Every structure is written in C-alpha cells, then in structure tokens.
Amino acid sequence: MKRITIRDVAKEAGVSITTVSHALSGQGVLKQETRDRVIAIARKMQYIPDWSGQNLKSVETGMLGFFTYSIAGLYGVLVDAMYQECHAYGYEMEIFIIESGECMIQMLMGKRVDGAVILHSELKEEQEKFLHEMEFPLVYLDRELKDQYASSVLFDSYESGRMAAEYLYSLGHRRILTVRGVDWTYDGEQRLKGFEDYMCEKGCPVEKDYVVNGLFNQEVAYRETKLFLQKSLPLPDAVFAANDDSAIGCINALREAGYSVPDDVSIVGCDDIELSKWFVPALTTIHTHINRQGSLAMKELVQLVKGEKSGEIHRIAGELIERGSCKAKVL
C-alpha cells in the first residue's frame, strides 16, 4: 500500500503543502477552521507525519499534555503531582478533557504538545495503532503498552486485588461479596481478577450470585447492594469493593438494612481517598500512591521526549491500610 504523503493531503484539502505543514505542526497563522479541516483530512487519509523530518523535529512547544476524561476526585492529586514534576523539568503542562480518542489524535497531529500522558479508557484498538505509527512520545496510565516512543505507568491492580483477598481470607472470611468497578478499565478488571484468582487458589471461588456492579460510584454501589440484600441469600462475611466510593456506598446500604460494619460484615476498598480515614467506621483499603504515579509518568515522558530512553512498563505496588471496617470472623 502506497504511503500517504504530505503532498497527497495538500491535494485532497485543496491547499498548499506549506499550509498542511503549518496545520499539523501548529505553526504559522491559519484560521482555526482551516487547521481543523486539514487535520481531519489527514486523519481520514491515515497520514502519518514524519516526526523525524527536519521541519517537524525542530518544532518544540515546551508544553506537555495530559489527556483524560476527568480531573475529579483523586485525579486532582494526579494532576498536581504531574504539574510539579513538569515544572521541575522546565516544561508547561496543558490539560485536555476529552470524550473521544479521535479528538485526542487530532490534537496530537496538530503538534500542540511535545508529548502526552494519556488516561482514557475508551481509546480504541485502531486508535492505539495509529498513535504507535505516529512515533509520538506518550505515557499511558490505563493500559499496558510500550515501544520506542511509549511507556505505561500503572498501578499493580492485580496484586492489589490479591492483597485484599489474602487479608480477608486471613480473617476467616470465605463468603465474600465483590462490588465490581468498571470492567473495561484496566484497574477495574485487574483488581477483580487478582481477587478472584486468589480466592480460587484457596478453594473459595467467588460465587456468581455474590457479585454486584458498583461502577466505581457510591450511589450505584449503594443501590446495587440494597438490591442484593433483598435476595434470599445468606449474608456475606465480607465485601471487597473495587474502590473506596463503592465501599462507602455499600456500608451505607448495610447500615440502612440494620447490619453493622465490621461486626456483621467486614469491608475492604481500594484507593485510600481522603474520606476513607474519616468515615465511620474508618475504611480498610489499598493505598494506590497516585502522586507517585503522576510524578513517575511525567519523568518518563520527559525522557521519551528528549530521546534519552525507549519505552517500558512500570507498575506501582499498592499498600494495605488497616482501619476499623474489618474484623476477624468468630468461628
């Protein structure tokens, strides 16, 4: 298949090669409408800019990007850690809150930043491939990818799930309700898998009837736990929630139904949000070191931008924080 050139894009867009170059590099004075149209055409034609070419290689914005779908909650801690690290290396940081991977690709093709950290679970496989072919410095926070230009900085969510299972098992709990997160996210899938694998190894597989969907959301977890408690099933010994928000929703539902945490049911969450230490009872959880993830991600990105290394996968271990929401089962 013939490689699409900048000349092909210019012909299709009805503009000069210089205009295409300016649109994709972010240089020159162009109407935003023209810039967006050229970028859209280049994307449709699957044009891959030659970042090693002299014309684009010399373009440096001094700006690093963070592409995400939210900066709420713990993501604020993540952003602050990245911002501090970014400034320590002499760069500015721009945050892009976007809904689609397509929008992100168009911005990257416009060379608005020198490199980017990506936290966007809905990025499609073909979009991942396109980003790989662009040879653009990237650090992913929600998927395992690495090549010469891309790294991943992830929580070791699988081991966090196993850690929670091992802890509850050590307290004598065998019938455990799991409150799932968002299954298509890396952390949601890996936390649950780690938990289930450990329990299977111990001969206590998680029963299908003892799984509810919390979607990382307090209200959803509260509602789904209430529905579970209305079933004619034995009360679980314990609950493992995929994040602290879900754990708190679950506690509220249990309390409303007349059950005590931890006397009747023990609960473990994940993330160690600020509220978890002040909630009653204080929540036992897996601390995820999100500030460390932010700092390491930005350090990794700067090294990729400068060509000082090739990409690799980093995993940050979680830490069990024991508080008042768990209790050993009396046999």
Same domain for 162 and 274? yes
Same domain for 281 and 170? yes
Is residue 76 one of the residues assigned to a domain?
no
Q: Which pLDDT value is given to residue 56?
A: 46
Q: Which pLDDT value is given to residue 57?
A: 47
Same domain for 280 and 162? yes
Write the DSSP string, 257-282.
TT--TTTT-EEEEEE--GGGGTSSSP
Percent of the chain whose predicted confidence (pLDDT) is above 70 = 94
Q: Which of 59, 78, 100 is the last residue of a domain?
A: 59
Which pair of tokens denotes residue 331? 């046999």
Contact 236, 206 (CB under 8 A): no
Is residue 230 one of the residues assigned to a domain?
yes
Same domain for 161 and 284? yes
Q: Strand (E) positions, 120-230?
A: 138-140, 150-155, 176-180, 211-213
For 128, residues 6+ apart whose C-beta sits below 8 A from its C-beta are: 143, 145
Contact 109, 49 (CB under 8 A): yes
Residues 29, 223: Cα–Cα separation, whole Å: 54
Same domain for 169 and 55? no
Range of the domain at 232: 157-289
- DSSP state, residue 28: S
Is residue 64 one of the residues assigned to a domain?
no
Residues 82, 62: Cα–Cα separation, whole Å: 15
**Model pLDDT for residues 277-306, shown as the tens digit of each residue:** 999 999 999 999 999 999 999 999 999 999
Residues 43, 52: Cα–Cα separation, whole Å: 19
Residues 269, 261: Cα–Cα separation, whole Å: 13
CA distance to 161, 228, 260, per residue, from 323 (Å): 17, 25, 15
Which pair of tokens denotes residue 293? 């993830």
Residues 240, 75: Cα–Cα separation, whole Å: 22
The H or E element containing residue 136 is none
3-class secondary-structure state, position 204: coil
Same domain for 281 and 167? yes
Same domain for 161 and 47? no
Q: How confident is the model at residue 25 (pLDDT cuts 50, 70, 90)?
A: low
Q: Answer whether residue 101 shows pLDDT above 80.
A: no
The position carrying tokens 């024991």 is 322
Mean pLDDT (the chain, rounded): 90
Is residue 146 one of the residues assigned to a domain?
no
Residues 223, 211: Cα–Cα separation, whole Å: 13
Q: Answer whether residue 54 shows pLDDT above 50.
A: no
**CATH code (residue 274):** 3.40.50.2300
Q: Answer whether residue 229 shows pLDDT above 50.
A: yes
**CATH code (residue 37):** 1.10.260.40
For 47, residues 6+ apart whose C-beta sits below 8 A from its C-beta are: 4, 5, 6, 8, 9
**Single-letter amino acid, residue 264:** D
Is residue 185 one of the residues assigned to a domain?
yes
Is residue 197 one of the residues assigned to a domain?
yes
Total domain count, the chain: 2
What is the pTM (predicted TM-score) of this model?
0.83
Is residue 26 one of the residues assigned to a domain?
yes
For 104-112, what is the mean pLDDT?
A: 76
CA distance to 24, 57, 191, 297, 300, per residue, from 66 (Å): 19, 21, 24, 10, 13
Is residue 125 one of the residues assigned to a domain?
no
Q: Which of 19, 37, 59 is the last residue of a domain?
A: 59
